[in-house]
Structure 1
Amino acid sequence: MRNSPAVREDTRGEVREAMAEIGYVYNRAAANMRMSNAGLIGLVINDLRNPFFAEFATSLQMALAEKGYSTVIANTDENAVLQDQVVNSIIEHGVSAFIISPAYGDTGATFDAIARAGIPAMQMLRQVDDRLGLFPFTAPDYVSGSEEATRHLIDMKARRVAFVGGLDGRAVTEERKAGYLSVLKEVGMEPLAITGKASRAFGREAAKRLIKEHPDVDAAICFNDLVALGMLSGCYETRRKVGQDFLIVGFDDIEDVAQTFPALSSVRCDIASIGAQAANTVVNWLENGQVPPPTSRTTVSLSIRQSSQSDAQEH
């Protein structure tokens, strides 16, 4: 009835036929009152404590504000049940669209509720729902990023490269690991993956574990920058000189990593550009009926700093 672009034409026709059969008359004045929050975007984030997601939410909110849209932001704290609650609450208050970086777990109820409400919704950074025609997905090109990082470490004469962090079976972990595995297969290097929580604490302990259990490993690609920052601490405690004895590359390139010592190399996902692109996409969907493609990937690059260069010179 609101001509939402998320509703298929055949479905719209069936609804209008049913309205005619029962004599239902659409009250547009009442509908306009219900839609008093038009121009409001629901932004649901899985973990705002993580600097990467906080930077993404900030850049997206600012980009939407420039286009005249307000946002209501909810943190789900990686809890699928809480995500379902906040999404339903936001639906009740009336929003024009959702942009969701979803929590893992049983998320079917969350996306079913959005579908029933006929509200356009995008999955960002993570894909948990396979209905990509209804909930398009956008994320950085994780695979190419880990490929470039692995090749860089090999070019820096690393004898054995480990992949550290990220929970097994998660799509993002497997994608970031896939590029690493493909390059190691090309060069005939034996892989080593130490997976676990994507946190500083895990990275710190992984650095200590590597020197005890795998002393031949002299470089690591980390699942994200938090793990990499933890590894910096772990290497300091074990008296390994990062950039000389041990090379590290993080992933995401959050703002803080350029300010560490040694400065941390990282796969740059260009968070600000992702936010701006997401804002453009959702506004075009709402204002021009331009439904996004089912899947899209943004380009990444490698920011090379002291942590992965034996000469400790940033460029």
Structure 2
Amino acid sequence: MTLQRRPTIIDVARQAGVSKSTVSLVLQNSSSVKEETRKAVREAMAEIGYVYNRAAANMRMSNAGLIGLVINDLRNPFFTEFATSLQMALAGHGYSTVVANTDESPELQDQVVGSMIEHGVSAFIICPAYGEDSSTFDMIAKAGIPAMQMLRRVDDRLKLFPFTAPDYRAGSEVATRHLISAGAKRIAFIGGLEGRRVTEERKAGYLDVLHEIDMDPVILTGKASRKFGKESAGRLMSEHPDVNAVICFNDLVALGMLSGCHELGVSVGTDLLIVGFDDIEEIAHAYPSLSSVHCDIAGIGSQAAANVVGWLEKGQVPAPETRTPISLCIRQSTGGTRKAGS
């Protein structure tokens, strides 16, 4: 039997010599269908190339096995590493993943989440974009689909949308104490958009330690990018020449600082100590290699997969808020190569 279009359930029924409703029962694994009939339907599906489209069949039950993974910025290696580890972990549990990059657009986030709801995803794991006008989580609540906020928190209904992220505050505290022990006389915090919750959390530990030792902070906020990091290197040297150590909002800013310092002839690891944040794979291979707050993003992805599977299969709702431990990887940019615990 040769078809010039995509085979349908009616084609399967005709090929197997059964009714459309019988084919539907086979697709639903109903025990009411005889084994020989089930076998005939499966053979017919294989012969004509029919593929069961669960979304089109409106399979919105948890056993549909499709998880919506919505990421705010897949260009950022931190989120790419998270998405990859999570997708692989979900596959290990037998679940498929549909991934969307919102490119930090709340409007696009609303669009892709709405589309995923229409196509019958079983649950959402979202690294959300910021935006006060976003209706994303209201849509999910109305649809009654389990959803977890990861790495960023934008909705405060944590019992409905549990939140998991590294202990950002502890991360900047450990980094600041390390810089002081390494001989820092004035420490700056570079990067992160002003007023964003994640920026304030990543600054908090830094500010706590500086308050303890009565050191005035130096803060340059801006887009968490290599470009901003590179520009900040020049600004730091001209406006704050007494600064000899920096904590960067993320590793992209730290890599940009590294490039800027090279152009300015500033020796990283001696003239200026630099600590990044996230510990993406790339920074261990930079020169000099960059110290960074390690967030164990692969571990977070694996745990997120286990949590969403437990929620779907056993009704085990994750804790409203989970903070995962951090550690500090000390490399050449602060004068060492060893790894220190948090």
With the length of structure 1 as denominator, give the TM-score of the two structures: 0.88
Residue 121, structure 1, aligned to residue 144, structure 2: no
Q: 1: CA distance between counterparts of 2:208 and 2:68?
A: 38
Name the residue aligned to 2:200. 174
Q: Determine helix, strand or coil for the equivalent of 2:64.
A: coil
8 Å CA contact 2:66, 2:122 repeated in 1: yes
Residue 90, structure 1, aligned to residue 116, structure 2: yes
Q: 1:35 aligns with which of 42, 46, 59?
A: 59
Deviation of the 1:188 alpha carbon: 1.1
Q: 2: CA distance between counterparts of 1:243 and 1:104?
A: 35
Q: 2:326 aligns with which of 285, 295, 300?
A: 300
Q: 2: CA distance between counterparts of 1:194 and 1:32?
A: 50
Q: Relative contact order: is structure 1 or structure 2 higher (C-alpha 8 Å, sep ≥ 6)? A: 1
Listed one character per residue, the Cα deviations across residues 206-246 of structure 1 (whole Å, up to 9, x for unaligned) are 01101111100000000000000000011111111000110
Q: 1: CA distance between counterparts of 2:107 and 2:295?
A: 29
Deviation of the 1:33 alpha carbon: 3.9
Q: Determine helix, strand or coil for the equivalent of 1:157.
A: coil
Match for 1:210: what amino acid? L
Question: Highest Rg: 1 or 2?
Answer: 2
Q: 1: CA distance between counterparts of 2:131 and 2:317?
A: 27
Where do 5+ consecutive residues of structure 1 fail to align?
1-27
Runs of 4+ displaced beyond 6 Å: 28-32
Q: 2: CA distance between counterparts of 1:175 and 1:68?
A: 35
Q: Percent identity?
A: 71
Q: Count residues in correspondence.
A: 285
Structure 1 residues 290 and 246, CA, compared in 2 at 3 Å: closer, same or farther? same
8 Å CA contact 2:329, 2:337 repeated in 1: no
Name the residue aligned to 2:174. 148
Deviation of the 1:32 alpha carbon: 11
8 Å CA contact 2:107, 2:134 repeated in 1: no
Residue 277, structure 1, aligned to residue 300, structure 2: no
Q: 2: CA distance between counterparts of 1:108 and 1:129?
A: 10
Name the residue aligned to 1:247. 273
What is the RMSD computed on CA atoms of the aligned residues?
Answer: 1.7
Q: 2: CA distance between counterparts of 1:31 and 1:176?
A: 40
1:142-291 to structure 2, matched below 5 A, reads 142-291=168-317
Q: 1: CA distance between counterparts of 2:97 and 2:256?
A: 33
Name the residue aligned to 1:20. none
Where do 5+ consecutive residues of structure 2 fail to align?
1-27, 31-53
8 Å CA contact 1:107, 1:128 repeated in 2: no
Match for 1:297: what amino acid? R
Structure 1 residues 32 and 198, CA, compared in 2 at 3 Å: closer, same or farther? closer
Q: 2: CA distance between counterparts of 1:138 and 1:293?
A: 9
